[in-house]
Amino acid sequence: MRMRMFDRIRFFHVLARWAGIAALLALTIPASAVGLNDTGITTCSNATENGLPCPVADFPGQDAEFGSNKFDFTKLDAAGNELPADATDHTCVRDNVTRLIWQVKISDSTFTFDQTAGYVNNVNTTGLCGFNDWRMPDQKELMGIADHSIGYPRPTIDTNYFPNTPNSEFWSGSPVADLSGSAWVVSFGNGLAYYDGRNNDSHVRLVRGGQSFDSFVDNADGTVTQSNTGLMWAKCSEGQNGTNCIGDAKTMNWSAALTAANNSNLGGYDDWRLPNIKELQALVDYSRYVTAIDTDYFPNTPNGDYSWYWSGSPNNAGSAWFVHFSYGYASYLNRNEYSHVRLMRGGQSITYFSLTVKKTGTGSGSITSADNQINCGTACAADFGSGSNVILTAKPASGSAFSGWSGACSNTTGTCTVKMSDAQTVTANFNLLPSYKLSISKSGNGTITSSPAGISCGTTCSKQFSSGTIITLTAKPNTGAMFSKWTGCISLAATPLQCNITLTSSKTVTAVFGIADIKITAITLTPASPVANSTFSAKITVKNQSTMPVNGGYVDVWTNKPTVQICEAAGDKWIDVGLLAAGATKTLTVNLPTGNVGAKTLRAFVDSWCQIPESNEANNQLTKNYTVK
C-alpha cells in the first residue's frame, strides 16, 4: 500500500521536530486564484478545545470572526438552468462566490493524472449542462469548495450540493513544477492540499469558468495589495522590517500569532488578522519551488523545511491549519507548535459587475476575453470582479474587417481593456470588405488552381475574393506540355509553377503553357576523315522548334554508337545546351578522340536525360558516319 502525501507530512513533522531530520518535500504548481470562498468554520477554539463561542480570551481574531462563514451554491439541471436548493436531480453546481460551475456526478472510475485529459475531452463531447469548455481545476480552485468545518472521515464538502463525494483524493490540473512525476491533489477526507505520483489513481471533478491570476501592488508602506483577491498583506513576516524585510522571521505558537495580528497597527491600520487557510493558500505561488511565494513582493520569506505559516483556522482539537511557503502544501499543526506569521487585512466578498459585448456592422467576427468567459460567438456576457481588467480581442471573419470599438472601449485596434468598476457594455464593429474579381487567361494545355480555393481552370477561371486577399496560383501542365510563364502575377523563385497576387482591384493573370520540341538538325566533323589516334571536333546544331523558351538539358556524344540510345545513357563526352529561346538554334562544339582506323558512326543525343516533355521524342538523336584513316 502506497503512503499518501498527508501520511508523509505527518511523519515528517514528527521526525523533523524530534529527530531534527528535514523533510525533503519538493512541491510547486502553476498559480492561479479566483474569488475566495470561506472555509465554513463557524466556531472558535482555545489551545485544546473546538466548538467554542467567539471571541476566546488569548485567542483573538479567529477565522469564524470574519467573513460569511458559509458557501453560496446554486444547483443546475442538465441544460444549465437553475433549480431550487432542495432539488436532488441536479447535474452541475454554480459557485456564486467564485462564479465557477462544477460537475456534480463524478466518474465511476479513478484516473492517473495523465488520463485526465482524455476524460475532459469525453465530458466536453457530451456538452455537460450545455457547456463544452470543461477543464481540470487548479489547486486553489479545488481547495475552494472544501468545507473545513467538516472533520475526518466525512467528506469535507457540502454533500447536499455534491452528493456521493468520496472522502479521498481528487486530482487538480496542476503538475508539480520541479517533480515531473507528481501532481497536486486535494483530499476531501480531511481538506489537505498536497501532491501525489502521477501514476497513482485519484478521482476527478471538472470545472468551467474563467481563471484569475495573482497580481500585486507594493503600497510602499510595508503592505502589499493582492489585486485579484482584494486582500492586503504585510510585506514582511513578523520579526522582519524594511524594504527588503531584513532580520529573522519570528516563530510563535498559535495564540501568540493571533494576538500579534490583533495588536498590530502596521501601515496605520488596526484591523490586521491571521488569514484563514484559503486566504493563506491564495498567496502561494505554485509555479515556484523554494520559495513558493512571489519574492519580488515578499522578500526574504523563510524557505527551509520549517517555513510553516499559521492561518487563523482551527482544525480538529488541538491543531490549526498552516501553509508551508517553501513548498506550498496546506496541512495542520499542534497549536502549541511554533510557526511563522504573515498578517493580512480585508474581507472575502468581491463585488461582480456584468460585461456585455455587442456586435454591429455589415460584417461578422468574434470577440473573446483573455480568460475565455466571453466568447462571442455564443457567450456575449459574463460577470467579472470589481477592479479587474478584462482584455477583449476582436477577430474578423473571412471577408470582414474590424473597424473599432465603442462603449467602454473606443480604440480601433483589435484588443481593448475594460476596467470593471461598474456594469459595462462594449460594442465591436465589423464591416464587409469589398471584393474583387480574379480572372485567369490561359494559353496552352494545363490547369490553374488557387489557394484560397475558388479557381480551378480547367472549368472555373474567375472568382471574387475579398480586398487584400493574397492568392497563390499553381500551374500544372498537361502530359506532354510545359509551363512557360506568368503575366500579371509575381512568380515564386523557389517554385516557378506558382505565383502570388494581392487583390486590391479586379485583375487578370495569364498562364502560358507550351509543347517543347528540341531537335538536332546537323552534325559537322572537322576534319571530315580524321587520322587514327588523334582528335577531331564535332559541331552539333540544336534547334528549339517550339513556341516557348526551353532549357535543352545535355547533349551526350558517342564517337562510335550505331544503335539508338535510351534515356540517361552516358556518352563519351557531354555538353550543356542551356536555355534556347523559341525557334532559336545553337551550335555546340565538342572535341573527341578518333581511336583506331575504320568506319564509324558518331551519335549525338539532346535532352539525353529526357527531362523535357516533348511533342516528338524521336528527333532528339542524330548520327554522322565517318571514316578514321
Is the pLDDT score of 20 beyond 60? no
Amino acid at 459: T
Question: Which of 478, 497, 514 is the C-terminal boundary of a domain?
Answer: 514
H-run or E-run covering 534: none
Convert the pLDDT of each residue in 393-441 to its tens digit: 999 998 899 999 999 998 888 999 998 888 999 999 999 999 999 999 9
Whether residues 442 and 468 share a domain: the answer is: yes
Whether residues 368 and 424 share a domain: the answer is: yes
Average pLDDT over residues 486-505: 93
Assign residue 572 the CATH number of its domain: 2.60.40.10
Is the pLDDT score of 547 beyond 90? no
Locate cell 513558493: which residue? 292
Average pLDDT, the chain: 89
Cα separation of 588 and 440, whole Å? 39
Is the pLDDT score of 10 beyond 70? no
Assign residue 496 the CATH number of its domain: 3.10.20
Does residue 546 form part of some domain?
yes
**How is 447-463 classified by DSSP, letter by letter?**
EEEEESS--EETTB-EE
Which residues are 319's β-sheet partners?
A: 334
Cα separation of 528 and 624, whole Å? 10
Question: Which of 478, 494, 514 is the C-terminal boundary of a domain?
Answer: 514
Strand pairing class (352-360; 381-385): antiparallel
Q: What percent of the chain has pLDDT over 90?
A: 72
Cα separation of 580 and 244, whole Å? 80
Strand pairing class (169-176; 179-187): antiparallel
**How is 283-315 classified by DSSP, letter by letter?**
T--TT-SSS-S-TTTSTT---STT-EEEEEEE-
Vertex 46, ends 44 and 52: CA angle to 5°?
Answer: 40
Does residue 13 form part of some domain?
no
Which residues are 111's β-sheet partners?
A: 202
H-run or E-run covering 11: helix 5-19
Is the pLDDT score of 25 beyond 80? no
Whether residues 526 and 501 share a domain: the answer is: no
Say how many domains are in the chain: 3
Are 497 and 486 within 8 A, CB to CB? no
Task: Find, among 266, 261, 264, the residue nearest to 279 by Cα.
Answer: 261
Convert the pLDDT of each residue in 351-395 to its tens digit: 678 999 999 999 999 999 987 889 898 778 988 777 678 899 999
Cα separation of 31 and 289, whole Å? 12
Is the pLDDT score of 539 beyond 70? yes
Cα separation of 575 and 586, whole Å? 12
Are 605 and 556 within 8 A, CB to CB? yes
Strand pairing class (507-514; 435-443): parallel
Cα separation of 137 and 510, whole Å? 58
pLDDT at 35: 66
Amino acid at 238: E
Domain encompassing residue 490: 435-514
Does residue 264 form part of some domain?
no
Whether residues 446 and 545 share a domain: the answer is: no
H-run or E-run covering 6: helix 5-19
Whether residues 597 and 609 share a domain: the answer is: yes
Does residue 481 form part of some domain?
yes
pTM: 0.57
Convert the pLDDT of each residue in 44-68 to its tens digit: 999 999 999 999 999 999 999 998 7
Cα separation of 264 and 597, whole Å? 119
Task: Find, among 163, 101, 96, the residue nearest to 130 by Cα.
Answer: 101
Question: Which of 381, 414, 432 is the C-terminal boundary of a domain?
Answer: 432
pLDDT at 64: 93
Convert the pLDDT of each residue in 321-347 to its tens digit: 999 999 899 999 999 999 999 999 986
Convert the pLDDT of each residue in 233-292 to its tens digit: 999 999 999 999 999 999 999 999 999 999 999 998 999 999 999 999 999 998 887 889
Whether residues 580 and 503 share a domain: the answer is: no
Average pLDDT over residues 482-505: 92
Amino acid at 493: A
Q: What percent of the chain has pLDDT over 70?
A: 93
Does residue 468 form part of some domain?
yes
Whether residues 524 and 621 share a domain: the answer is: yes
